[in-house]
């Protein structure tokens, strides 16, 4: 396998951390590395990622996917939740990103927030 792909998540977000734990279990081929938005590595090496408020993916070629496209990319790679994949593909991008933004803006109120980053990865 080539270079791993990086999923960048909000390390203080309870929802994001729960989804990350699920994702790690489902990533049978170990395609992804997980990094926190708060990571100095990410801030230093991926300055092209802007306005990320909860998730982004950097593929092995350096392409960046954000919002609903990041979710679609992840689900396709781990081959899970086909109904969500179909929904994202069928709906216009502005609409899927609208729903993504809605969840992103309310995630702390609904699910809570940790005081510090809960993602520990020595590489990131």
Where helices occur in the chain by DSSP H, the ranges are 14-26, 40-45, 67-78, 82-90, 93-111
Please report the pLDDT score of residue 51 as a whole number.
Answer: 61
Please report the pLDDT score of residue 2 as a whole number.
Answer: 58
Please report the pLDDT score of residue 124 as a whole number.
Answer: 45
- HSE toward the beta carbon, residue 48, CA cutoff 13 A: 7
Q: Render pLDDT for 74-100 as a digit per residue (tens, 0 to 9).
A: 999 998 889 998 999 999 999 999 999
Strand order in the sheet with 55-58: 32-36, 5-9, 55-58, 64-66
Closest CA to 18 of 1, 6, 39, 34: 34
Question: What is the mean pLDDT for each group of 10 consecutive residues in the chain (124 residues)?
Answer: 81 89 92 87 75 82 92 93 92 95 93 78 48
Please report the pLDDT score of residue 97 as a whole number.
Answer: 94
């Amino acid at each position: 396998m080539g270079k791993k792909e990086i999923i960048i998540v909000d390390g203080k977000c309870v929802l994001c951390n729960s989804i990350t734990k699920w994702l790690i279990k489902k990533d049978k081929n170990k395609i992804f590395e997980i990094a926190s938005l708060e990571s100095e590595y990410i801030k230093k090496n991926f300055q092209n990622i802007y306005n990320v408020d909860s998730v982004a993916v950097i593929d092995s070629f350096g392409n960046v996917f954000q919002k609903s496209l990041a979710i679609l990319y992840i689900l396709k790679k781990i081959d899970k939740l086909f109904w969500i994949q179909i929904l994202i593909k069928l709906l216009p991008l502005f609409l899927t990103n609208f729903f993504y933004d809605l969840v992103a803006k309310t995630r702390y109120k609904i699910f809570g927030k940790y005081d510090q980053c809960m993602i520990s990865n020595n590489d990131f």
